[in-house]
Amino acid sequence: MTLTTTGLLGLLLFFLSVSIPKTFYVSDNPIEAPRENRVFGGGLPGFDSPYIGHTGSWDGKGGAMFGASKNPDLDQEAAMGLSWTFMCLNWSTMEPDGPVDLSQAIPTAWQSVDQFVIECKERGLNILMQAPVVGGNAGGPPEWAGRREPDRSAPENMKAAADFAEKLARRYAPGGTLASEQEWGEDFGVRAWELDNEPESYRTNWKGQAGDYAEFATRIAQRIKSVDPEAVIVMAATANGAHGGEWLEQTLDAHGLAGSPSYRENQKPYSIGPATDAVSFHLYEGLDTFFSGEDRTIGKAFQEVRTLFEQWESKAKGFEYERKTEYWHTEGNFDFIGMLSEERRAAWRWQFFTRAFASGIRKVAVMDAKPLEQIAVKRYIEVLPAPFPMVRSTRATVVQGDASVFHHHSGKDGLRNQHVWIAWADAGKGPATIEIPANAESATVFTPDGNSKPTRPIDGVYRIQLEGDEKMAAPKLIVENVSMQLPSVAPPKTMSTD
């Protein structure tokens, strides 16, 4: 038995180590870049940053697993230059014995969340609060709220779930109870709420209860926004794959009444479409490619979810909604097992960011970055704090080999009026050489290991050599007109293999 298990695990790890997508789809019809000076999320500092920290573990009540503090994870995220972090709150953990009256003594679990929010404020980290979490790791609604079906997520007492969500908003929204106690005013608080985690499939879930989830989401969105009209409602945090798409479509198809017997008997339809401010989804490019047997990339997963939401904009009478422009990747890295070497994972981070932004995805998760990845993430954010618009370049010329080249131009005056090019040799095809038209007298070339070097154009072009790699070639960032020269960062000493 031990030998068999070890052998199967070894085989799994081997296939994961070589499970690199062969093609990386980027949308031909990307979502337009966000407008400058827009006030999304009420204009909170850092709210528009597209990088969401998703580091470590969570206990569903403001801490990490086994009672550990989240502070080391928050420190790591702040050190990378992130403006976002993540926390999940389990309803059954926060209200295990019945509705909590916060006008009385504050329960220990709520005190833990209070401290977490305070620590985030000290580090300048906005919070993507995944709450209420009913299924998944929460194991279902608290017993006192009942269930519409055994072993499923939909609570019998749906009003109690909405009451809980309103309590969260009243305490943690900007200007809420905690903000008033801490004298923050309207400048900080939880403004992004993601409703449950992979509800279509993960552990205790809403399978067969898509309509119930739509009711849950609609009622909770209404209650949160009654407290904070600027709140951003994020859903449905679905996993990648066909099962997620089928279930998601049922949450949009209000008149299909795809739900529990109680939901169908009630005959009151719901759709998540009108209540959704930002559409979220999860993806692990390497892991999902391995298990699906086909290339599962950020651009492809995004396009599938986007297509569903656009198909249902006016399809369900009475539940029409405007076209969604906010799509957030809120969980995933290459693979959570970590089979790809740190050097290649650092290279993948730059490729992943670039392809996601070129498709128009507004936020991406920075999940469990290892030391070399942390260096790469920090550098990318320093160079591209606002990476939109990102486009596949038609101006660069590949003069040798095969390469992917993308281009960002801020279009602004001053230090940020710069051209940034991101390029890498395609995996398994050897090195490549590209020529980029020059718009300035010099540029700086950055690499994921934190190093940089100057370059100058010859005959009006920069000639850039791109190293090849069988699995994941390291990109280069070529930045023109950089008066804010960034220092070289020495990578930590580490040994990693594929």
**Paired tokens of 89:** 């709150």
Mean pLDDT, the chain, as a whole number? 91
When pLDDT is averaged across residues 437-442 and rounded to a whole number, the result is 92
Helical ranges in 36-176 per DSSP H: 71-79, 91-94, 108-123, 158-172
Q: What percent of the chain has pLDDT over 70?
A: 91
| 132 close to 143: Cβ distance less than 8 angstroms | no
pLDDT-derived band at 417 (thresholds 50, 70, 90) equals low
Q: Which residue's entry shows tokens 């994870």? A: 73
Each residue's pLDDT tens digit, 93-131: 999 999 999 999 999 999 999 999 999 999 999 999 999
When pLDDT is averaged across residues 376-397 and rounded to a whole number, the result is 95
* pLDDT given for residue 495 in this prediction: 34
What does DSSP assign to residue 41?
G
Q: Residue 121 and residue 128: Cα distance in Å, rounded?
A: 13
Q: Domain 391-480 is in which class?
A: mainly beta
Burial environment of residue 400 by CB neighbours within 10 A (0 to 12, 13 to 18, 19 or more): middle
pLDDT of residue 8 exceeding 80, the answer is no
Domain definitions of the chain by residue range: 20-30+38-332, 391-480
Q: Which helix (H) or strand (E) holds 291?
A: helix 285-292
pLDDT-derived band at 489 (thresholds 50, 70, 90) equals low
pLDDT-derived band at 242 (thresholds 50, 70, 90) equals low
pLDDT of residue 483 exceeding 80, the answer is no
What distances in angstroms separate CA 235 from CA 6, 11, 109, 135, 192, one per listed residue? 38, 35, 25, 14, 10
Which range is least confidently modeled, 21-25, 54-58, 376-380? 21-25
pLDDT-derived band at 416 (thresholds 50, 70, 90) equals low
Each residue's pLDDT tens digit, 56-77: 999 999 999 998 999 999 999 9
Indicate the SS3 state at residue 423.
strand
- Comparing 238 with 290, which gets the higher pLDDT? 238
**Paired tokens of 333:** 């890295």
* pLDDT given for residue 38 in this prediction: 78
pLDDT of residue 87 exceeding 80, the answer is yes
Q: What percent of the chain has pLDDT over 90?
A: 80
- Comparing 241 with 439, which gets the higher pLDDT? 439
Each residue's pLDDT tens digit, 157-190: 999 999 999 999 999 999 999 999 999 989 999 9
* pLDDT given for residue 292 in this prediction: 86
What does DSSP assign to residue 103?
T
| 407 close to 421: Cβ distance less than 8 angstroms | yes
* pLDDT given for residue 494 in this prediction: 40
Q: Residue 468 and residue 466: Cα distance in Å, rounded?
A: 6
Tell how strand 432-437 and strand 461-466 pair up. Answer: antiparallel
Would the CA dihedral through 385, 390, 393, 399 be positive or negative? positive
Q: Which CATH number fits domain 20-30+38-332: 1.10.10, 2.115.10, 3.20.20, 1.20.1250?
A: 3.20.20
Q: Residue 39 and residue 80: Cα distance in Å, rounded?
A: 25
Which range is least confidently modeled, 9-13, 279-283, 308-312, 401-405? 9-13
Which range is least confidently modeled, 261-265, 296-300, 333-337, 489-493? 489-493
